[in-house]
Amino acid sequence: MNLLFKIRVVTSSLLLAGLLCSLETAAGADLPASAPSLDRGFQLLYELDFDRAHQVFVAWQQQFADDPMGPVSEAAGLLFSEFNRLGVLEAQFYEDDRAFQARKKFTPDPSLRDHFDAALDRAETSAATRLAKDPKDRHALFAMTLASGLRADYAALVEKRNLASLHYTKQSTNWSQQLLAVDPSCYDAHLATGISQYIIGSMAAPMRWLVRLGGISGDKKIGISELQLTAERGRYLAPFARILLAIAYVRDKDKVHAREILVSLRTDFPQNPLFTVEIARLDALP
């Protein structure tokens, strides 16, 4: 695929911190102290604690059955646990385009795939119902953004179905643009558009032209700016944007800024050993 793929899961710890803007739903605007926290669930994903993250997401769905962020968050956890199991997130596969194109097609867990698809189906059905009542529902718009992005990542990075992944990426970008039109201060929404802009803007001119025919344009500098905006002002996706910026800096041979970001991520997520691995690998580069 993907406009998201080459960069989206490029490092060893691309664990999506999903959600957006405000997570206060009508059901959970004033959550009791004992309520499950999606914030905590995604924190656990960043720490590679998939089992506990899954428990949080399931508990959230039990308490807030009509919120599409519950099942889409569950799907995010399932996807990244599968990435971790398969070794999809090994950064050396993605240091350059030739290595990325030569990546192997993995053998996915069919049971996990079924649960992943079912969670996304529930999220999209719930979001569509809410959007039919209120086209400006932020939770629903983001759930659709994230669901399309997760499908894109699975198609590209597990199944190696690049065209299908590109289709889902375009959907994700369109949903994120709708969300930003509703709430320009939703800085996390800039992540999807930033990734697309960066990837398309980094392509060779003939490839950019072909992709533009499909209705997708890109500018590398604009992409970096949007990722920086999410990294600096985003609420839930700021760490993810920092990971993507580190990847971009590595690709641009800017080791100083890449290392600076990775060190900050290691500080924020000390339970995740992969940031330390990436720092060591970066330090070993000429």
Residue 278 lies in a domain: yes
Burial of 209 (0-12, 13-18, 19+ CB in 10 A): exposed
Half-sphere exposure of 131 (CA within 13 A, CB side): 19
The CATH number that applies at residue 74 is: 1.25.40.10
Residue 116 lies in a domain: yes
Residue 29 lies in a domain: no
Residue 30 lies in a domain: no
> How many domains does one find in the chain?
1
Residue 224 lies in a domain: yes
* pLDDT number for residue 93: 43
* pLDDT number for residue 149: 83
By C-alpha distance, which of 1, 5, 37 is closest to 18? 37
| Eight-class DSSP state of 91 | G
As given in the structure block, the two tokens for residue 199 are: 């990837």
Burial of 32 (0-12, 13-18, 19+ CB in 10 A): exposed
Residue 25 lies in a domain: no
Residue reference for tokens 């290392």: 259
Query: For each of the chain's 286 residues, which pLDDT tens digit applies?
Result: 333 333 333 333 333 333 333 333 333 333 444 557 888 888 898 888 999 999 999 999 999 999 999 999 999 899 989 988 887 766 544 555 566 566 566 788 999 999 999 999 999 999 999 999 999 999 899 899 889 988 988 887 788 887 787 788 788 889 989 999 998 888 878 877 777 677 666 555 544 444 554 555 567 788 888 889 989 988 777 888 888 888 888 888 899 999 999 999 999 999 888 889 889 988 988 7
* pLDDT number for residue 95: 57
Residue 31 lies in a domain: no
Residue 108 lies in a domain: yes
Could you tell me the residue range of the domain that residue 65 belongs to? 5-16+37-284
CA distance 46 to 262: 13
* pLDDT number for residue 218: 63
As given in the structure block, the two tokens for residue 67 are: 């919120």
